[in-house]
Amino acid sequence: MSKNELTEQELVKRCQKGDPEAQEALYKLLAPKLYAVCLTYLKNKEDAADVLQDAFIKIFTKIRMYKRDGSLEAWARRITVNTIIDFIRKRRTTTEFIEAIDPGDVEISSQLPGIIEQLEAKELQEIIQQLPEGARVAFLMHAVEGYSHEEIAKELGISVGTSKSQVARARKLLQQMIKERWNAKQRKN
């Protein structure tokens, strides 16, 4: 067991007892990463801040339920993503989920993963933020958080077909945007 794990365990223990210092330390440890998650999903900084705040309140009130059998960060991330989904569900009227026919698999250039690796994370985040919200959320849930289409459909209150089409649409747009960004970068260099 590493020193960091021990520290994390101690931190969790103290948070479970309601120690304010430990709560602050946990916040400082997790907030930047979780804020980035919120920003990727929500694009709008104010929305992201609101959701992050709600997520941390949930984290601190539910920390007694954390069983320490997985990574604390992954647990906190899951809570944050759930909070984001709740937020999106509540303002569903403004969220765009186009009902589309499943376009099937999108042809992805074999060069694309390599190009992505060469992009900076922030650049990639900017590209993802440019996606329409419906496609962005469905894609992130599927590709990053590992939700199945059935789970996405259930969480977002959409059909499985819509989830698939949103993810496919996101991939298509992403490929296009990443290539454009890459080409522009190449031309600059």
Partner 1 sequence: MRSNERIDRLIKEKLEHLYESPPDYVLDNILQNSSSRGSSDSQKQMDEAIKRKLLTLSKEPPEYIWLHVQYYLELLNIWYNLKRILLWRRIKRTLTVIAGMLATFLIVEFPLNNYGSLLSDMSQAHRLTSLSRNKPGKNINTKSNNPSESNRTDAGEIKPQNLFAQNIGLPSDNPKHYEKSTQTDYQQPYIWHKETNEEQKDNSESNIPPQMSQLPSLNIPIKAPSVDMNLSETTYTNISDNKREIPIWQIDMGSQFSILFNEYLIQSIFGRDMILVNPGVLSSFYLGRIIVGKSGVYRIGLVYGGFDSKVSVWVDGRWNKEIMESRYIGISGSIGKLLAVMGYRKWVDGWLNASAIYFMYHVYSSEILRTNPAVNRFSLMLSGEVNYVKGLSNGDMFLIGGRIHALPFNMVKQKGFGRFVNLELHIGMRM
Where on the chain is the footprint of partner 1 (CB under 8 A)? 18, 20, 23-24, 27, 31-33, 35-37, 39-40, 49, 52-53, 56-57, 60-61, 105-110, 112-113, 116-117, 119, 121-122, 124-125, 128, 140, 142-144, 171, 174-175
Identify which of residues 33 and 89 has a Cβ nearer to partner 1 in the complex.
Answer: 33
Identify which of residues 33 and 92 has a Cβ nearer to partner 1 in the complex.
Answer: 33
Spell out where the chain has E strands: none
* Spatial contact of 40 and 23, defined as CB atoms under 8 Å apart: no
Identify which of residues 112 and 160 has a Cβ nearer to partner 1 in the complex.
Answer: 112
As measured in angstroms, the least distance from the Cβ of 88 to partner 1 is 18
Q: From residue 161, how far is each of 92, 103, 154, 166 by CA, in Å?
A: 18, 10, 12, 8
CA 34 to chain centre: 9
The kind and range of the H/E element at 170 are helix 160-188
As measured in angstroms, the least distance from the Cβ of 56 to partner 1 is 5
120 closest CA partner among 180, 182, 72, 174: 182
As measured in angstroms, the least distance from the Cβ of 152 to partner 1 is 14
As measured in angstroms, the least distance from the Cβ of 113 to partner 1 is 4
As measured in angstroms, the least distance from the Cβ of 111 to partner 1 is 9
Identify which of residues 88 and 128 has a Cβ nearer to partner 1 in the complex.
Answer: 128
Identify which of residues 142 and 149 has a Cβ nearer to partner 1 in the complex.
Answer: 142
Q: How many CB atoms lie within 10 A of CB 164?
A: 20
- Rounded CA separation 101/156 (Å): 18
